[in-house]
Chain A
């Protein structure tokens, strides 16, 4: 479990990635499902609209599972993802 291997660094440009829950391309292509998308807020009596910019935020959580296959880069329509290999 504890590896001391350096994991890839993934940065997501939130200015470019504005509607991840609607787009979902990286989330669905990633073989190891390292990405996660969540609504900015879960509020009483409020539903978020995935079409509105910034209502959902994409993050890359499981960096330990990233193989740097770069398929997410290929499918991202707005070039929002960057992967740095350590």
Chain B
């Protein structure tokens, strides 16, 4: 089972549980007194510190230090879990359901693209990220994190943005901002999005096996009678799960690798790719 649902789902999907969008404005504190980052605006300052784990992983790789590599990876998972900053891939459809549950929502610049490609998104036509919840109302306290500003949008505008991003080919990723509170709805691709890059580069199969990003609740499947081999879907997979199978002349999906983002499904002009519930495939029940 998806551990986020187990912990925060109240019997259903964690991201459709309205309680998880109901954080108060102020920083919550963990029982030991350590501040837990609040939704939206209260963000930790040291970006270099956040990247440190990756640099350590790369060093362990270079030294061929298998144990060290696994230890660092485990530690990074544990850190994210403690801070409650994990995320999960969601389909376009589930994204729309999410946007009906949460208010306020504001479009903003993506912090990953800012760091990886020095992209400086300045207005609502450029923003590729969305901050969620009342914490967003104090975004002005952190002008560097919210460089370019924030544009608050209605549910309809938010959905329209989500669909526009889907059309462009971005993966929808829902992020916790101090679990169980949901604080961000990201539009991701490889390699610019650090959440996706980490799991793709450093491994993801198995419950809690990647680094803070879970696969979604669905899995894509090709209807071989409907597929005419046009190849459009193959341009949309950010995870390397979907290939054009030359032998059959059709799309082929490795469902163990598939994150269930549904981009192949929404991009298929013939409706030949459907999304199944992950749990309907016995071998994938524990593959997150």
Which residues of A are in contact with B by a Cβ distance under 8 Å?
1-7, 20-21, 23-24, 27-28, 32-33, 35-39, 41-48, 50, 57, 59, 61-65
Contacts and interface: CB of A to CB of B under 8 A. Distances in A.
Given A42-B45, A42-B145, A3 B120 contact: no
22 contacts: A1-B69, A1-B203, A2-B61, A2-B64, A3-B61, A7-B61, A27-B116, A27-B117, A27-B118, A28-B118, A36-B116, A37-B114, A38-B47, A42-B44, A42-B45, A45-B143, A47-B144, A47-B147, A59-B48, A61-B51, A61-B58, A64-B62
Interface of B: 43-48, 51, 54-55, 58, 60-66, 69, 114-118, 120, 141-145, 147, 191-192, 197, 201-203
A6 B144 CA distance: 36
Given A1-B203, A38-B47, A43-B144, A62 B58 contact: yes
A35 B142 CA distance: 24
Question: Which are the 8 A-B pairs with shortest beta-carbon distances?
Answer: A4-B64, A24-B118, A47-B143, A38-B47, A33-B191, A42-B45, A27-B118, A2-B66
Question: Which residue, A28, A33, A35, A65, has most C-beta atoms of chain B within 10 A?
Answer: A33
A27 B65 CA distance: 29
A40 B63 CA distance: 30
Interface of A is mostly: loop
Given A1-B69, A50-B120, 12 more contacts: A2-B60, A20-B118, A41-B144, A42-B142, A42-B144, A44-B141, A46-B143, A47-B147, A59-B51, A61-B58, A62-B58, A64-B61
Contacts of A57: 48
Contacts of A37: 114-115, 118
Contacts of B69: 1-2
A33 to B, nearest CB: 4
B116 A39 contact: no
Nearest to A47: B143
Contacts of A5: 62
Question: Which residue, A4, A6, A57, has most C-beta atoms of chain B within 10 A?
Answer: A4
A72 to B, nearest CB: 13
Contacts of A65: 201
Contacts of B47: 38-39, 42
Nearest to A22: B118
A61 B143 contact: no
